[in-house]
Amino acid sequence: MNKNKKYALIIIMVTNAILISFLESFIPIPIPVPGIKLGLANIITMIAIVFLSWQDVLLIVIIRSFVVAILTRGVMMIAFSLSGGILSAIVMWLLYQKLSRFVSIKGVSIAGAIIHNSAQLLVASVMLGQAVVLYYLPVLLISAVVTGLITGSIGEIAIKEVSKKGVFLEETIQEETAQEER
């Protein structure tokens, strides 16, 4: 895949992630838990994990966090988005690439949601200098399992459909060849 096509794919995936986040405002959550989001943008990270290299996955996460922070929430948001986004992407990538025999896409998504929530809470506690924030962790972890499962279910369908479309075909073949060589 040439450089420009790769960048075009990254641009499309970043804009998709931001638009999907916008969709969340329409979704009624049966039991609203304060501070909880479905995290549907994670679907894009999962697609990237399946079809692209880890460098590209990180690039997508970093650019998405940067664009969202600048356009809407302010620069301090970057600390939260990046810590949660990068850590969860690394864990999800490792789980998918190394343990895909044992962990399904839904499992990968749940792990990603757990890491994302934990990292954000840790950053909040460091910023506030208050460990008391961590008391909220059990609530966040339980909800991460539920939201991760929902996101994972949708992600699984999306990955199948994208795979059928063959957008990443060249890249996937390259990846498979590299894995075989390994």
Partner 1 sequence: MANNSLLIHPKIDSAANVNNESKISDSKRVLNAAGFMDMDGLIKLVLFITLALMPFYFVKALSFALLTGYLLIITLLSGIKMRTLFISASSYFIIVLIPYLLGLMINIFISFLSNGYAYTQESAQILLRLLRLFIMWFLSILYFQTTPMKTVLGLLDRFLFPLKLAGLPVQDYLKVVMCAVLELKNTGAELKESLAKSMRSVLGGEKAKFMFKLNIKALSQVIVSLIVNSFGKLDRVEKLVENVNPADLYGYFFRLTKREIIALSGFTMFTILVIMVEKGYW
In angstroms, the CA 110 to CA 88 distance is 10
Residue from 132, 179, 180, 181 touching partner 1 (CB under 8 A): that is: 132
Cβ atoms 42, 116 nearer than 8 A: yes
Burial classification of residue 105, based on how many CB atoms lie within 10 Å of its CB (0-12 exposed, 13-18 middle, 19 or more buried): buried
Binding mask 140-179 toward partner 1 (x if CB under 8 A, else -) reads: x---------x--xx--xx--xx--x-x------------
Shortest separation between residue 14's beta carbon and partner 1, angstroms: 5
Give the x-and-dash track for 33-72 against partner 1 (CB under 8 A).
Answer: -xx----x--xx--x-----------x---x--xx-xxxx
Q: Which amino acid is at 144?
A: A
Instruction: Return residues touching partner 1 (CB under 8 A).
Output: 3-5, 7-12, 14-16, 18-20, 22-23, 26-28, 30, 34-35, 40, 43-44, 47, 59, 63, 66-67, 69-77, 80, 120-121, 124, 127-136, 139-140, 150, 153-154, 157-158, 161-162, 165, 167
